[in-house]
Structure 1
């Protein structure tokens, strides 16, 4: 049956969510027989028996020289080694971590909500093993088989660092919720470091991507094209059908979808690392600027200054924004003269009224409190007022400085200047 016909047949499930939940509650299995076992085995899927029940396990291996998008898996090793050699402080740093200690993790669930009403039916993970990437997926054949599902997964949980995509907010909390229900029967969940690549991707590319779905990041950033891939939103519906009929054909498509998700995390972590460490020669000026902002946000001032300085000396569109950001770094260090010269350049050459507004206020502060030049402080406050009016005309919604504050500053400065005569 073609995938199109399968999906058309499954559409009826969308309007029968309650009946699908009933299927999940009442469906049972026969220990003496695993339906379609021959089909499963042809696809590298084998049963795992534990505690009078079973789950299914799919295993795949990929050579580390295999390409996945713009990177081979071997370049993940390069990225981890580069972190260890750099000594750079960053939330994605792999310093002190071996490549083999990483696990790339993803789940498939019956819904997007949290809590016990949402069940995980695939636990998938991949890691470096010798000269290969070893991928393993644990499949829930029916409700009630959660104990062997988690037992088989936790037997494989020999790692120190996990990488996910939105896993801190969704995947791992869901794992913990499900584990709570069976914790008397399976080992404890491991403690580990967690890199959530969704938040990293959003920080890096929200300026060019309207949505941050992994499939979009894959295509637009990593050069990964999915062919004949099942849409993720159909996964719960296909699983309900599998529980009811036992035919694994639809589930095999979900397993492939999950496999690509997991392998893409390896390429994504590699790419983010190459960008941050300066190993990606094709990174854009905007990406360099976002990296600098990220360093500044986490308190790595030296790395932030390096990123901003490189851009500030260039002629691209990010140069003014980089000078503005670099001036703030100098302000933190009380290097007032360096900050002043940069902000004067921002006001003189900048076209972004929002940045010019902020720079003018910072210059007004320096001239009032550091240079003791009240007239220049007044001049820059007046320029700030004009910038605010321009932003008001353009209906700019991200103003961080109010008109009331500008006028209050101007009134105080004029009063001080008058009193000084």
Structure 2
């Protein structure tokens, strides 16, 4: 297992360009299974989770060619659907949560789709009911083998459009249902659909392939089924979670950093949420400029003077993937913040590592934590810690970069799952970080 050794307390400076969005790439890559024609995808991040999915597509028979940095062509004209029933697939598919989204395209095009219980971050219960209830609404038959946790859906006579109200605005669930519905007979309406920019990107890509999806960007999608889809070329958005991570890093290390080409129109409330923590952000073209916060940053209270609460919510609310970053940034703010993580019941459990570093955090319950900011009057202390998941991992890395002394982070494969060559990119702006 790899480790990072980080010498903290160093002010950084320079420019950093965000990678392609991991959560969009997982959806877009699965969509190549919907057509036998060539699909060109650009700005694919070079990270563990994405590379695993590309390997899985190759093992399914998809022809894959890397044409440049982050650019690939895919052609699914000879898909080996029998691979889904092999032991190799059960092992491979179970190592990646994003693999669940191959089911919708395979079901739509080939009449069946199977998946082992997918892996991913251990951040609490992550139900799959929304996915399979959607497939059942479209006419698929569902089966589940409890012994080896293997899911299957079949529709040998094809799928039929249906009206459905999702029980939760699941991003991956919505993506899976949309990919199944584009080749179904008739009209499908999906209410309480997720409307994140990455889901919008998927819908735009599918429409460019010949799908008929309206309501993109809203929580009510209407899909007119078509006979087949063609090829296309698509570019993945910059990763908003990485952009938020760099904002938090700049504030915590009192660094002057410019984040390049961020696609401001797709950041939603993210910039203003960091501004509520007192962080100065400037829009310079399509870049974000963060000056060095030499005098720290002060949390804004609510209008009535009550403690600031930052909570996650479905888009256009604040993304849950950035709450861990916000929590770390709050440890050195001037003022107090209540962090309310509504979606996952285990995501805040990494705070004990921050408390060991000297942070003042009171974990109220699995979903809420009160952070009492130090205002940089008491620097975090270096320590040895382990990364429990992607977002907690990057949060601990930011804490280590701001801490006094040398910290060690173990299990860094969790960070590599979501962040491309992060040690190299941090060294380029002055960080003292070594991969061992």
TM-score, normalized by length of structure 2?
A: 0.29
The structure carrying a bigger strand percent of its residues is: 2
Structure with more helix by fraction = 1
Scaled by the length of structure 1, what TM-score is found? 0.30
